[in-house]
Chains A and B, each alone.
Chain A
Amino acid sequence: MDEEPERAKRWEGGYERTWEVLKEDESGSLKATVEEILFQSKRKRVIESHGQVRLGMMRHLHVVIDCSRSMEDQDLKPNRLTSTLKLLETFVDEYFDQNPISQLGLITTKNKRAEKLTDLAGNPKKHAAALKKAVDTVCLGEPSIYNSLNLAIQTLKHMPGHTSREILIILSSLTTCDPANICELIKTLKSLKVRVSVIGLSAEVRVCTVLTRETGGSYHVILDESHFKELLMLHVKPPPASSSSECSLIRMGFPQHTIASLTDQDAKPSFSMSHLDSSSAPGLSLGGYFCPQCHAKYTELPVECKVCGLTLVSAPHLARSFHHLFPLQAFIESPVEEFQEDRFCQACQGELKDKSIFTCPSCRSVFCVECDLFIHDLLHCCPCCIHSQSAP
């Protein structure tokens, strides 16, 4: 649905793309079937996510970025690498927005090796900076899925059992150069309960199908840039936790932000603990979050206390993760002809022009397609319901 405006902009894509569009028009049935299938899978996804499932709210995700020769291919503009990195930046933002108590790490693979770009950490800025820097990477050689998985396992296997361990591979190449049989590694991954998902940039590769099937991840291949984005965003939502994962109470600290005013004579500037190892940032500041257990100071949340190991979060962070557990119900889709009243969307007040409308099951408000997606993807609550609740 939201692909329509993107597709209209295809003329920007250069002659290859116009060719593709032309081709689709000729054998329209092909495109229609595939789109039909895609739409259905999208609907299914919405329905699926409304079951009562346990979600792994604390996620540890390693993103593996293929930096092999094939990333220089220009079928994504300006090339696959730049496009991927740009999308990943938005992904990282979105990821931490939706999963504030989770962590993320970046790995690149090229020339049969895998390198760590960033360690597992909960700070989006660091990742974004690393991604920006990576644009200039020279793409060469073949990727190695084995090596990158191995590298990811090294850190993931030490993560506590109640968190989810995930790897997301963005694979552009169709081949992998491995030092050993990957089947063994897949078994290890399975026993460690690491979920591996793959987004392919060119075509379906068998080994990825096996890898994702065995580890319970998902495997998708992109059609174009907008589809790529959509697929990436799928991974923002926390996956259902495997039933066998440990279940325990977790100690968390909720430090208050104390701002010492400059007029206060007692206030002394102090170093943040998180700046101890990074030499670049200027350390001294007045206020900050103080760990309720050991009073170490941090400038940003969420973070794991360096001194006592307590997870420090703020209440809004937890609240933001909360909506995954109690998602908004799916709106009822019905053809626009059946709707007798004023044809205006309750949210945007625009006229209902599309062929189907969406009705909130609890307050019977009517929305257009755009607003339905917006409400479900970003707001996570029906505006009309909130409105009627708050009214006296």
Chain B
Amino acid sequence: MKDVAFIELKTTGHGVLEMPSGTGKTISLLSLIVAYQKAFPLEVTKLIYCSRTVPEIEKVVEELRKLMEFYSKQTGESNNFLALALSSRKNLCIHPEVSALRFGKEVDGKCHSLTASYIRAQRHSTPDVPVCRFYEEFDAVGRQVPLPAGIYNLDDLKDFGRRKGWCPYYLILHANIVVYSYHYLLDPKIADLVSKELAKNSVVVFDEAHNIDNVCIDSMSVNITRRTLDRCHTNVDTLQNTIQKIKETDAAKLKMEYRRLVEGLKEANVARETDVYLANPVLPDEILKEAVPGNIRTAEHFVGFLKRFLEYLKSRLRVQHVVQESAPQFLKDIFDKVCIDRKPLRSVSATLSYFYSFTIIIEPFEDRTPTIANPVLHFSCMDPSIAIKPVFQRFQSVIITSGTLSPLDIYPRILDFRPVTMASFTMTLARTCLCPLVCNYPQTHTFKNTLTLTLVDSVIRNYGNLLLEMSAIVPDGIVAFFTSYVYMENIVASWYEQGILENIQRNKLIFIETPDAAETSMALEKYQEACENGRGAILLSVARGKVSEGIDFVHHFGRAVIMFGVPYVYTQSRILKARLEYLRDQFQIRENDFLTFDAMRHAAQCVGRAIRGKTDYGLMIFADKRYARADKRGKLPRWIQEHINDGSLNLTVDEAVQLSKHFLRQMAQPFRQEDQLGLSLLTLEQLESEEMLQKIAKIAHQT
């Protein structure tokens, strides 16, 4: 009795799937893989399900719980599946002192200081060093004893940990299904800790993966500001002092201490972010195994080396103009200036061995405040495939899925893998519950100069009119997306001057997303309240912002989404420029193609917020003429494209209002479950009928 979403998945190979949100993507994938797991327990041992945020992870676990209940109800036997959700230490820690800390970083640091191997080793000699008793308990008992079978979400895990006195964070044992965030698999810093021991014949699913390339890049890139360097400096000083002290007291101990230092710099020097890369599973083993070069083999030399490197970075940050260079150039420059060879650096920061895919950009000023010097050194990764490559290599099948992955072929290209299946599913609907409209505004601004958005007055007024008219006819909540914060501020300011805001406020309350997370969540809360009690509200937010990514506007919370303009990335950003160049050189993807692709996936993501299921309905208004062009239209997901016909292109405000009114009335008619039956909902008999089987075969054949 589930959705018509059938996947012909060979369990040895990678796939890309696009399915509209709310159609049961998660449950279909879960049930399929679990069924496979049950049928061939030896071929697939583990399912790793990666999602984006904590609430999404919880949702997946709930779906899984339902599935398992269904299984045990149908088969009558209890099954021995163990499924876990995993999150950061911050969400899982049960240590009374540590969990009281507020920031993730603090928790991590504190936890580390209690559980690190050298601390624990120290405890053997001096018992008054504090350690985490939960971890000790786990280490002593829990490692061998598996968890009882069942489905655990984060809270369950915590409960279990508390009861047993084990640290839940380290509980990830022989679970059949693990649900956690991308970073556990992609970010080399974390992946090594958590995902190293996962079996090869696991199935990996990346849900909501439309941004996976950015996640990959982020996980490999580093930004260094002056503050980081200052902290580094202090740390190195401390290190030096310690070495000095130890040297005075115990020379032998020093040697041991130092050896550990070189092996695991991370523990000695947490703040030096670059060093953390030592723990990188990506790196070829030979580099790690390579002998530590002579000039950093003793402690003083090492500290001196670090200092020199630090000074060098500082001097680079002092520049007054923007510098962009490739990694080899950078290394050569280091060699020239402070006489550091590439080889020692490589063993310290071995990521540099991939230097072709990295670029160093030094920006003396921030874009927003061009007068205040705030130098940043971006050590930025250009190639998302680096981070994800081990995942593809290691696991027998990886599935990338999201509601918005169109065009499908670009993902395999930028992530550098060969998919076995690529499929885009559409929704089978009993009624047309989405209504995309494209309004005919001219291109509104050019990106000729940095941040001089040439806003035409008439366009702003047009936008304002559209919003005003829509606020009068759309019930409850409207979400409007702008392309950037600056742009939004400008437009809202002129609306205020033109008196448009005042008119809108007669129909609905207005809330605005700001870069401040606390403010935004406050606005969101009030927005939902206003939708709930009938006052109606408009949320002005920004594409690529927090609202556009993680927050669902179910039913009345989003009856209409208006997209003002095309959400191109800020094209003047040097990191982006470098990346575009890299894409062109390495993957033969034209700049324009990538930019449009990126803009359209964000636009689709934004408008997709409104429809979260088959009983939901919503208007999708693209307020920019450019959406009507074939290159833009073609990049929207298929389930949206299907509903754009010529009648809904190039509309004036009046026409859009007429269409919307009509649509909203149609949608308000009573809609019951039996209406869906046979169309988008199948009973068991219908599912097994000959006709339906043929239809399914046809769908499968197409894709």
Contacts and interface: CB of A to CB of B under 8 A. Distances in A.
Nearest to B531: A206
Interface in A246-297: none
B667 A204 contact: yes
A168 interface: no
Contacts of A363: none
A221 B668 contact: yes
Contacts of A221: 665, 668-669
A346 interface: no
Most A C-beta atoms less than 10 A away, residue of B474, B532, B665, B667 = B665
Contacts of B666: 30, 34, 223
Interface string A5-41: 0000000000010011001001101100110011011
A75 interface: yes
A304 B89 CA distance: 74
Contact of B665 (A70, A142, A178, A202): A202
Contact of A41 (B472, B556, B670): B670
A75 B660 CA distance: 13
Interface in A139-183: 142, 145, 174-178, 181-183
A205 interface: yes
Given A19-B658, A174-B474, A174-B507, A206 B647 contact: no
Contacts of A207: 532-534
B535 A223 contact: no
Nearest to B429: A33
B536 interface: yes
A42 to B, nearest CB: 11
A289 B559 CA distance: 57
B472 A33 contact: no
Given A33-B430, A34-B431, A206 B535 contact: no
Contacts of B476: 174, 205-206
A178 B534 CA distance: 9
Contacts of B532: 206-207
B662 interface: yes
Contacts of A26: 645, 647
A318 interface: no
Interface string B536-573: 10000000000000000001100100000000000000
Contacts of B384: none
A200 interface: yes
Given A27-B432, A37-B669, A203-B474, A175 B675 contact: no
Given A27-B432, A178-B533, A205-B534, A223 B669 contact: yes
B659 interface: yes
Contact of A30 (B432, B559, B661): B432
A178 B535 contact: yes
B428 to A, nearest CB: 13
A63 interface: no
B695 interface: no
Contacts of A120: none
A20 B661 CA distance: 10
Interface residues of B, number: 36
A228 to B, nearest CB: 11
Contacts of A205: 475-476, 534, 536, 556
A174 B536 contact: yes
B534 A204 contact: no
A37 B475 contact: no
A196 interface: no
B74 to A, nearest CB: 32
B141 interface: no
A360 interface: no
A330 B662 CA distance: 33
Contact of B670 (A19, A27, A37, A145): A37
Contacts of A305: none
B661 A204 contact: no
A362 B135 CA distance: 81
B533 A202 contact: no
A183 B533 CA distance: 8
Given A40-B675, A182-B533, A174 B473 contact: yes
Contacts of B669: 34, 37-38, 221, 223
Interface string A58-75: 000000000001100001
Contacts of B472: 70, 174
B580 interface: no
B503 to A, nearest CB: 11
A26 B643 CA distance: 13
B291 to A, nearest CB: 69
Contacts of A208: 534
A202 B662 contact: no
Contacts of A20: 658, 662
A188 to B, nearest CB: 15
A181 to B, nearest CB: 6
A206 B675 contact: no
Nearest to A183: B533
A221 to B, nearest CB: 3
Given A37-B670, A202-B475, A223-B665, A175 B555 contact: no
A325 interface: no
Contact of A203 (B432, B535, B668): B668
B46 interface: no
B534 A206 contact: yes
Nearest to B557: A206
Contact of A222 (B431, B655, B665): B665
A187 to B, nearest CB: 14
Given A37-B675, A223-B666, A23 B474 contact: no
Interface string B352-369: 000000000000000000
Contacts of A19: 655, 658
Interface in A109-164: 142, 145
Contacts of A29: 432
B508 interface: yes
Contacts of B431: 30, 33-34, 37
Nearest to A22: B647
B664 interface: yes
Nearest to B671: A37
Contact of A177 (B473, B535, B665): B535
Contacts of B665: 202-203, 221-223
A270 to B, nearest CB: 52
A3 to B, nearest CB: 13
Given A34-B666, A37-B671, A142-B506, A204 B475 contact: yes
A175 B535 contact: yes
A4 B462 CA distance: 39
B533 A23 contact: no
B533 A181 contact: yes
B661 A175 contact: no
A282 B556 CA distance: 55
A41 B671 CA distance: 9
A36 B670 CA distance: 12
A158 B507 CA distance: 35
B675 A75 contact: no
Nearest to A209: B556
Among B474, B534, B665, max chain A CB count under 10 A is at B534
Interface in A189-247: 200, 202-209, 220-223
Interface in A46-97: 69-70, 75
A20 B432 CA distance: 16
18 contacts: A19-B658, A30-B666, A33-B432, A34-B431, A37-B431, A37-B670, A41-B670, A70-B472, A75-B661, A174-B536, A178-B535, A202-B661, A203-B559, A203-B668, A204-B667, A206-B556, A221-B668, A221-B669
Interface of B: 430-432, 472-476, 506-508, 531-536, 555-556, 559, 645, 647, 655, 658-659, 661-662, 664-671, 675
Q: Which 4 A-B pairs have the closest CB atoms?
A: A207-B534, A221-B668, A206-B556, A204-B668
Given A27-B432, A174-B473, A203-B661, 12 more contacts: A19-B658, A23-B662, A30-B432, A30-B666, A33-B430, A40-B675, A70-B472, A202-B473, A206-B476, A206-B531, A220-B670, A223-B665
